[in-house]
């Protein structure tokens, strides 16, 4: 963190400590007007945060990464969300020339051939657009929960992201999956119907499957890789 940043991680954490999620989000929006942004994958957790922001008229920007390989059900919940909250979630797409080069050079399923190829695809379709979306912002809101994977259990609710030079705030960090489902049900939040079919984490169509009872939460992502700490690079921890 640079010395020019007026808020330190410790001072900001102190201001947020003990606040409800709504009050914490509102406080961040007041401290960093026009510089707080939320990335939604349109999954369970992110739909809750979208509801917290829009139902309470909190001025936080919302965007999603359209990788070009999303499930049709994801597009459906995107439309339902726009309609429900009378909003327009901003779309960021990968750069056309990068996708064309990848598809021409390595074909549509290069991600299955190696971890390096899969990360290349993730970079083109997710990381590069994410970098553009986050540029110029001071706080990045995410739907990360601690129980989602072993490497997320050591994360704190508020962090400093050196890669993007901004704060990251995870409102649902301490929520259980049951907490998530209960909120969605009680508040009638639009959600992806794939969740009802065993998809707990939903990404690109070629890289996501439903999980079986007893499987790890992340088992459905990049399911052909034997690695319990599978990430695409959006969150480096």
Residue 92's alpha-carbon distances to 37, 117, 176, 183, 202, in angstroms, are: 13, 22, 29, 28, 17
Give the pairing type, strands 158-161 and 166-169.
Answer: antiparallel
CATH number at residue 180: 3.40.50.620
Could you tell me if residue 141 is inside a domain?
A: yes
pLDDT greater than 90 at residue 217: no
As a whole number of angstroms, the distance between CA 87 and CA 109 comes to 34
pLDDT greater than 90 at residue 214: no
Domain of 48, in residue numbers: 9-193
Of all residues in the chain, the percent with pLDDT exceeding 70 is: 91
Chain centroid to Cα 226, Å, comes to: 23
Give the helix/strand (H/E) hosting 39: strand 36-39
pLDDT, tens only, 89-123: 999 999 999 999 999 999 999 999 999 999 999 99
Could you tell me if residue 209 is inside a domain?
A: no
Name which of 165, 85, 184, 66 is nearest 124 in CA terms: 66
Could you tell me if residue 205 is inside a domain?
A: no
Could you tell me if residue 48 is inside a domain?
A: yes
pLDDT greater than 50 at residue 1: no
pLDDT greater than 60 at residue 191: yes
Give me the chain's average pLDDT, please.
92
Could you tell me if residue 2 is inside a domain?
A: no
pLDDT greater than 60 at residue 44: yes
Name which of 71, 113, 62 is nearest 91 in CA terms: 62
- What is the structure's pLDDT at 112? 96
| Cα end-to-end span (Å), the chain | 17
Which residues, at least 6 apart from 203, have a Cβ–Cβ distance to it below 8 Å? 41, 67, 221, 232
Could you tell me if residue 200 is inside a domain?
A: no
- What is the structure's pLDDT at 237? 46
Query: What's the total number of domains in the chain?
Result: 1
pLDDT greater than 50 at residue 131: yes
Could you tell me if residue 203 is inside a domain?
A: no
Mean pLDDT of 180-205: 95
Could you tell me if residue 220 is inside a domain?
A: no
pLDDT greater than 90 at residue 46: yes
What confidence category does residue 226 fall into, taking pLDDT thresholds of 50, 70 and 90? Answer: confident
- What is the structure's pLDDT at 3? 37
What confidence category does residue 204 fall into, taking pLDDT thresholds of 50, 70 and 90? Answer: very high
Q: Which residues are catalytic?
A: 232
What confidence category does residue 10 fall into, taking pLDDT thresholds of 50, 70 and 90? Answer: very high
- What is the structure's pLDDT at 148? 73
| Token digits of residue 130 | 């994410």
Q: To which residue do tokens 């970079």 refer? A: 123
């Amino acid at each position: 963190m640079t010395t020019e940043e007026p808020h330190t991680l410790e001072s900001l954490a102190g201001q947020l400590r003990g606040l409800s999620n709504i009050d914490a989000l509102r406080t961040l929006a007041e401290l960093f007007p026009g510089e707080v942004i939320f990335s939604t994958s349109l999954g369970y957790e992110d739909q809750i945060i979208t509801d917290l922001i829009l139902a309470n008229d909190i001025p936080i920007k919302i965007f999603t990464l359209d990788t070009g390989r999303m499930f049709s059900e994801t597009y459906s919940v995107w439309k339902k969300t726009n309609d429900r909250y009378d909003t327009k979630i901003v779309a960021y797409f990968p750069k056309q020339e990068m996708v064309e080069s990848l598809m021409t050079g390595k074909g549509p399923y290069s991600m299955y051939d190696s971890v390096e190829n899969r990360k290349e695809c993730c970079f083109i379709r997710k990381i590069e657009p994410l970098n553009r979306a986050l540029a110029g912002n001071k706080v990045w809101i995410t739907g990360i929960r601690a129980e989602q994977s072993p490497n997320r259990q050591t994360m704190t609710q508020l962090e400093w992201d050196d890669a993007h030079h901004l704060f990251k705030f995870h409102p649902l960090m301490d929520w259980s999956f049951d907490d998530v489902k209960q909120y969605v049900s009680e508040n009638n939040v639009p959600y992806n119907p794939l969740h009802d079919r065993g998809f707990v984490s939903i990404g690109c169509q070629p890289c996501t499957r439903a999980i079986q009872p007893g499987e790890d939460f992340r088992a459905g992502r990049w399911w052909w890789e034997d690695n319990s700490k599978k990430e695409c690079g959006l969150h480096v921890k």
